[in-house]
Amino acid sequence: MKQSVTVSKSEEAKWLEGIKVVLSKLQFKTPTFNLKKIIVPVISIVAFIGIWYLGAEALRQREINFRVEKALTDQGQAAANALQACFASNESTCQTNTLPSPTQVWASVITLVNDYYVVKQDKLDFKNKTAAVNAKRIAAGKAPIVYTGRASFVDIVIRSLKTVFAGFLLAFFIAVPIGIVIGLSPTLRNAINWFIQIFKPVSPVVWYLLVFMIVKTLLIGTSSDNSFLISFISVGLCAMWATLVNTAVGVSTVDKDYINVAKVLKLGQLQKIFKIILPSSLPLIFTGLRITLSVAWMVLIAIELLAQSPGLGTFVWEEFQNGSSESNSKIIVAMFVIGIIGFLLDRFMLTIQNMVSFNKSEGI
């Protein structure tokens, strides 16, 4: 019995060997490895959608039951039956207002994509319509008329990306120089440490309020829309702490051997900073920047919402206020878009981080 098993196994091995040879001749990679890498996530995605579907269906049923029950006690059997039928027909007047199912969300994706083309056409029409007028206005030294109509979902995402990048740049230009300075000077580090420890855990909402107070007063009397300004400053201030701390730690913990080399060679202060201290702390600085970018993206939604900046945060909030079933689906779409963009940003930073790190250990 055992004998036969081993024989068949070795035969199988031969077969596999043969297949591998054929495949390699066909210039394919051995498929087993890649297959596992593809199949497992696919299975988990399918399972996720399945559970989501069942969950959404159960929630919908619960809401329908409740409302039909209520109609029955308030208005009698006829009304209840009519409502039941209405829900079954899935008409737009009889929609539930609960967690949308995957199909509803997919429908919203398509709506949003179509809407993008509609808005694009609108903008084009607007441009053509105002071309002549604007040419005249520019000739007369006046500002041209700009499109102020409805924004598409793509515009909204772009607005959010712009905000997050502006915030990230602000964080970069504040946190890295300050981090270097306090990393170099233990005295300054001690002086500023309490400040960092206190402000680091402050929530994005409070940062927004603080920035709002200050910017509002600074721009008093001007009528321009400052929601972008306020939101990116808040995002930057809220997200910069990881970079600040990491830069300071990186700069202050340079390998003692490197510092000794600098001492023996009598490198000047600037040379020491630019040739030794900064390069050796680059990996830590970039780890900090990566955290900063992901924090910036995460707090962005709340801050945009508060600042009424027309990005994803405001989009989500307005759809929620809308309260229709369609809006719920759009919120879920926004959620996925936020997640995917966040993931891509993180990958991007990870790639850069691995490029600058000189000990080849890969981060996660």
Q: What residues make contact with another protein under the rule CB under 8 A?
A: 255, 257-258, 260-261, 263-267, 271, 275-276, 279-280, 282, 358-360
CA-to-CA distance for 345 and 355, rounded, in angstroms? 16
CA-to-CA distance for 268 and 271, rounded, in angstroms? 5
CA-to-CA distance for 199 and 183, rounded, in angstroms? 18
Measured from the CB atom, the residue of 126 and 258 that comes closer to another protein is 258
Measured from the CB atom, the residue of 11 and 255 that comes closer to another protein is 255
Q: Count CB neighbours of 30 within 10 A.
A: 12
Measured from the CB atom, the residue of 225 and 255 that comes closer to another protein is 255
Measured from the CB atom, the residue of 93 and 359 that comes closer to another protein is 359
Measured from the CB atom, the residue of 2 and 266 that comes closer to another protein is 266
CA-to-CA distance for 357 and 241, rounded, in angstroms? 21
What is the phi-psi region of residue 95: left when phi exceeds 0, alpha when psi lies from -120 to 50, beta otherwise? beta
Measured from the CB atom, the residue of 262 and 334 that comes closer to another protein is 262
CA-to-CA distance for 318 and 327, rounded, in angstroms? 9
The three-state secondary structure class of 266 is coil
User: Contacts from 284-287 at CB under 8 Å and sequence distance 24+?
Assistant: 284/246, 284/247, 284/249, 284/250, 285/176, 285/179, 285/243, 285/246, 285/247, 285/250, 286/349, 286/352, 286/353, 286/356, 286/357, 287/246, 287/353, 287/363
| Torsion angle in degrees (nearest 10) through CA of 27, 28, 33, 37 | 130
Measured from the CB atom, the residue of 26 and 264 that comes closer to another protein is 264
Q: Count CB neighbours of 152 within 10 A.
A: 20
Measured from the CB atom, the residue of 74 and 257 that comes closer to another protein is 257
Beta carbon of residue 279, minimum distance to another protein (angstroms, whole number): 5
Measured from the CB atom, the residue of 123 and 275 that comes closer to another protein is 275
Beta carbon of residue 257, minimum distance to another protein (angstroms, whole number): 4
Beta carbon of residue 260, minimum distance to another protein (angstroms, whole number): 6
Closest CA to 219 of 235, 233, 238, 239: 233
Q: Which spans in 30-152 are helix H?
A: 31-75, 77-89, 102-139
CA-to-CA distance for 142 and 46, rounded, in angstroms? 57
Check: CB of residue 324 under 8 Å from CB of residue 95: yes
Measured from the CB atom, the residue of 220 and 264 that comes closer to another protein is 264
